[in-house]
Structure 1
Amino acid sequence: MASIAASRIAALNRLRCNIFQTSYNPESIRTGAKYLRARLKGPSLINYYPQEINMSTFIKGFPDEGLVDLDEEQRLQDIIDKKKRGKGTPRKARTPQESRRNKKRR
């Protein structure tokens, strides 16, 4: 039997890869194709863990029921109390003259 030349086998592999739309890699260089072909794990993880339902999303979903989120009400009351004591967030400068950067001496 006659052996087939390596160049003819390489040409056959190149043609086969072209026909079946696979990557031609004669040097066997790592391409990461195994990981790119693998199934994505994100959707499976999302389906594994149950969707978290908290009171704020539940109340926003049913605004006509008149439900009150006590944690949000407490947060808003704390903000009001801080503003009364002068501990609230600073006002945003509307003009360059109001900015703190211009008030500093150079």
Structure 2
Amino acid sequence: MAAFVPPSRLRALTQLRCSIFQTSYNPESLRTGAKYLRARLRGPSMVGYYPATFNIPEIIRKYPELEMVDDEEQERLQDVIDRRRRGKGAPKKAKSKADSRRLQKRR
């Protein structure tokens, strides 16, 4: 027949075991998140998974001797010129306070 061990002794034994093996003592079985804190970090492997970005404007600036043309930038500049011709471009900056649009308004 097995000997009866009081629960207080088992609790003390568990607490001592946790202090010896450096584990957390959690008698109420509360959620602590220890599983996620012990897990391996995902960030470094995710960064290694995706290749480095291919940036055409950066390559053009770095190697001007290649004489490459960025089509998207050329198209953007042409769109800006077209908008200015139609009067849809950005307004001119005021050189002085007298040129400001606020002062031209009537009150």
Q: TM-score, normalised by structure 2?
A: 0.63
What is the rounded CA distance, in whole Å, between the counterparts of 2:52 and 2:13 in structure 1?
Answer: 52
Letter in 1 for 2:32: T
CA shift, 1:29, in A, is 1.5
Q: Cα distance 1:90–1:32, how it changes in 2: closer, same or farther (>3 A)?
A: farther
Structure 2: gaps (5+ residues): none
> How many residues are matched?
101
Aligned residue in 2 for 1:44:
45
Aligned residue in 2 for 1:62:
63
User: Percent identity over the alignment?
Assistant: 57
Computed over aligned residues only, the root mean square deviation of the Cα atoms, in angstroms, reads 3.3
Structure 1: gaps (5+ residues): none
Bigger shift: residues 16-25 or 76-85: 16-25
What is the rounded CA distance, in whole Å, between the counterparts of 1:5 and 1:90 in structure 2?
Answer: 85
Rg larger in structure: 2
Structure 1 residues 26-56: Cα deviation after superposition (integer angstroms, max 9, x where no partner)? 1112222212222222322332232231422
Aligned residue in 2 for 1:74:
75
CA shift, 1:57, in A, is 3.1
Bigger shift: residues 69-78 or 10-19: 10-19
What is the rounded CA distance, in whole Å, between the counterparts of 1:64 and 1:21 in structure 2?
Answer: 62
Aligned residue in 1 for 2:34:
33
